[in-house]
Each structure stands twice: as structure tokens, then as C-alpha cells.
Amino acid sequence: MYPLDNPPPTNPTIDLLLSTIGEKRPQADLTMVRLAYEFAETAHGGQIRKSGEPYIIHPLCTAITLAEMNLDPNIVIAGLLHDVPEDTSVTIEEIEKNFGKDVAHLVAGVTKLGKIKYRGIERYIENLRKMFVAMAEDIRVVIIKFADRLHNLHTLEHLAPKKQYRVALETLEIFAPIANRLGMGEMKGQLEDLSFKYVYPKEYAWVRGLVEEHYEQREAYINEIKTAIDLELQKEHVVVHSVHGRLKRLYSLYQKLLKHDKNIEKINDLIALRIIVTDLADCYAVLGIIHKLWRPLPGRIKDYIAQPKPNGYQSLHTTVFCDHGTVVEFQIRDMQQHLNAEYGIAAHWSYDEEGGVRPDRQLKWVSDLAIEGDTIQRLKDLDNLKIDIFQNRIFIFTPKGDVMDLPENATPVDFAFAVHSQIGNQCAGARVNDRIVSLDQPLKSGDVVEIIVDKSKKGPSADWIGFVKTTHAKQLIKQHAKRTLADWIKMALPSRGK
């Protein structure tokens, strides 16, 4: 059987945590980590989780996840201590006294995020706004929260069904999409799959059954392709870190099946081959070697290195006709791009401690989230929140090459208002990739969009409200409609009086 799940370690110990840190960071001082474990173990003494395990197992597994991501020891220590202020009599001040301001700041941030629950839409949206502000101030807080949530999902079976559903739904609709926007592909995938079986149990069983039925046959074929590409790479003297098959995650596969008539035979990347090389030039060299061996499918070569996704993801993708007409997807990236793809913003804490570089707190996607955090205050509907903040993002180019970040299925009108409100107000048409299109046509990543403006127009059409996707566009269209109605009433009232 293949590893669909990634369970936490059985009977984890402090030695496992220390060895994980030591493997990733040989120069790290482990003394404070050991002291933090002992501090947390004492604070949680006598507490038992619903699973029957001593409570200390949960923060320990949280810390191990953080250590596996090669994060700074302070983040790992905060993972060990993250539940202490909320579940014990120990205060943040005591944590600061024993472990310093940085650790206390992180623990305090996680404690605040722990209070976010589904408790009415207005209160929930306000809490989400606070989350985005906290993320902009220090993204490490939400990374710890992800690790905390991941272990909670692994033990979700011990909770009551209603709570299982609430926690899983919150994860699927809020936490996993945030992980995606931060480029944390591995975390996103695990959060989604662990939540999937509680939110959509019948669909989960169906998809898992499909994968199990088709996996062995496809695995054998992928191994043949892997052998062929290995030999060719050796002939061309291309040094690779690894060539391995990647099984498509269940929830991602489910979403793709819904777009392909629930026919798994139409899914080309149930198992994809991922090639990790040493440097950027080798990425393109490998792409050429693959295309020399097998014919690529038209339109399926995607260069996310030259044009990264909005969350920072970089990789080359190509889908090719291999032997016997079977279609196989390849993903090609260098080691740093691979770390970025797996861990996203967390990968920026993976540099060597000595002279290492911490990430700029104003990284683009974090800044976007902070800005959108202000927008959340004006949202009244969780569906709008999901579209504007959490839905999959696409990147659209202006004719000058500037990139606009929009939600999936956004239209030229959404794009026009994103460029400038005046462009949206005077929008009269659109060219997408040099072709005139209707204003309600959904855009795709990589499209080059030019808005045709009519300077004589006084505002947007009220009909656009039926197809635009972004809250920003909807608000501006509604505002103009209200002003137009008010102006009409002012003009009509005097004439009625006469």
C-alpha cells in the first residue's frame, strides 16, 4: 500500500524532536529546546487529551512538525509552549522570563489565534481580520498554528461528530487556503486530505477507492518512465537530487474529477514525476531532454519559474505522450524552488543560522493578505470572503507586463477595477491575448488583458453585478448604481411637484 496519509510519529519523545533538529541544524543549541519541553510537560502535568494520551504529546508533535520544516529553534520552542497560557495557570510573563521576548511573542500570537471559532458570521469575520493583521506582523504565528491544527486533525476521530465536522470544515475552507496563498503546498495538502474525510465522507471513500484501484497499474508504468529518464539524464551528465513519483492528493484529485465528469481516466497527473536538480539552468536542460524523448501535449507546458504563481510557487510543468500513448506529467525544479513549493514562506527560515537571512515581513503575498485584512471588515457574507481571500488565485498580465493577482474565474471587468476604479467605470470592451472577448468571460492564468475604455462613459453597467467575482468590483458597481438612482430621484421630484 502507498502512503496516502502522513501520520504523526508513534509514541514521540523529546529525543526524536532533538534528533530532528540536530539533523536539520547541526549547529543548533538544543539546551533551550529540552528546557522548554520539560517546562511544558510540568505545566500540562496530569492533563489528558480525548485520545487518552498525555497532553504533552500534542505540543511535542506540533514541535516535531515545525522541526521537520527546518524552522528556527525559537519557533520550535513556541510550538512546545503554544497551549501553556490557555490550558494551564502559567502566564505569558512567565514564559518571557524563562524563554525570552521572541518566544513569548509567538506564544501570545498563537493563543490569540486559538480563539477563532465559527460563532456567528460578524464575529468570525472580525476574528479573521485580526488573523490577517497578526500574519502581516509576524507570519511565524500562523505557521505554528498550522502545525498545531495538523496534529489536531490526526486525532479528530476522538471528538464528537459535530465538533469533527466544525474543525474539519474550518480547516478546509479557511486554514488550507491560507496555507496555499502562503505557498505551503505540503501543509495545504495534508490539511485538506485530513479534513476531506470528515466534511465529505462519502466522496472521500469514493475517491480513495478509485485511487487504490488505479494506483498499482500506474505506479508500475511510472517506474518504467522513471528508469528511462534516469538513463537519459546520466547520458547528458545532468546532476539530479532526486527523481520520484508524486501521488496526487485526494482532495485535489476530487476537485479535478468534478471538472472531468468524474472520470479518473481523464486525470493525467494521478501520479506525476518530479525531478529535483541542482540549479536553474538544469531545469530547462531537463525540460529539453524530456521533450527529446517524448512529444509534449500542446498547451500543457507551463513555465512557473519565469512566471511564478501569486503565492511564489516556481516550477516547470510539462505533460507528454510517453510509450503506448500514455500521458504523464513532469514537474522540474531546483532544490530551493522545491523547498519553497513544499514549505512556502516557512522555507525562508531554512537558511543557516550563522549569517542566515530571515524573510522580509513585507513579502508580496503577506502584504496582500494584510491589505485584504482591511477589506474583511466590509464583508457581510462568508462566500464573498472565500472568493476574495481564499479562492485559488490566477495571475493576469497588463499589456506592459505588470501582474495582477485575481481570484479564479475573475472577468475582464474585475481586472479593470483592479487596475483602477476609473478604468472599471469607463470599461467598454476587452482584448484577451489580442482577441476581443465578452466582458463576462472567465480569465485564465497567464492571460494578457487590455481594457478598451470609453472616456464618455459616466460609470459601469449595473448588469455587470451579475458576473463580476471580486467584492471590490461589486462594491464600486453598486455605489455607482445608488448614485445614479439618487440623481434620478432628485431630478424627478421637482418635476412631480410642478
Q: Which residues are catalytic?
A: 86-87
Coil, strand, or helix at residue 405?
strand
Residues 333/283, Cβ–Cβ less than 8 Å = yes
48 φ, ψ (degrees, to nearest 5): -125, 135
Rounded to 5°, angle at Cα 286 from 403 and 252: 55
Residues 365/181, Cβ–Cβ less than 8 Å = yes
> How far is residue 235's CA from residue 229's CA, in Å, rounded to a whole number?
10
Rounded to 5°, angle at Cα 43 from 6 and 135: 55
* Extended beta strands in 210-348, E state: 240-247, 271-277, 295-296, 302-303, 316-321, 327-334
328 φ, ψ (degrees, to nearest 5): -130, 140
Strand partners, 407: 393
Residues 473/417, Cβ–Cβ less than 8 Å = yes
> How far is residue 153's CA from residue 251's CA, in Å, rounded to a whole number?
15
412 φ, ψ (degrees, to nearest 5): -55, -30
Coil, strand, or helix at residue 18?
helix
What letter represents residue 478's amino acid?
A: K
Grid cell in block for residue 220: 508500475
Residues 84/56, Cβ–Cβ less than 8 Å = no
Find cell 485520545 and name the residue: 51
- Give start and end residues of each alpha helix (H) in 159-200: 161-170, 176-181, 185-199
53 φ, ψ (degrees, to nearest 5): -80, 155
For the chain, what is the radius of gyration of the CA atoms?
25
Q: Report the DSSP pairing between strands 327-334 and 295-296.
A: unpaired
Rounded to 5°, angle at Cα 249 from 147 and 324: 150
Residue 244 makes CB contacts below 8 A (sequence gap 6+) with 226, 273, 274
CA distances to 43, 250, 430 from 341, in Å: 37, 18, 34
**Dihedral (Cα; 115, 118, 123, 125), 10-degree rounding:** 100
Sign of CA dihedral 229, 255, 404, 173: negative
H/E run at residue 449: strand 449-453
Closest to 240 in 3D by CA, of 250, 251, 229, 248: 229
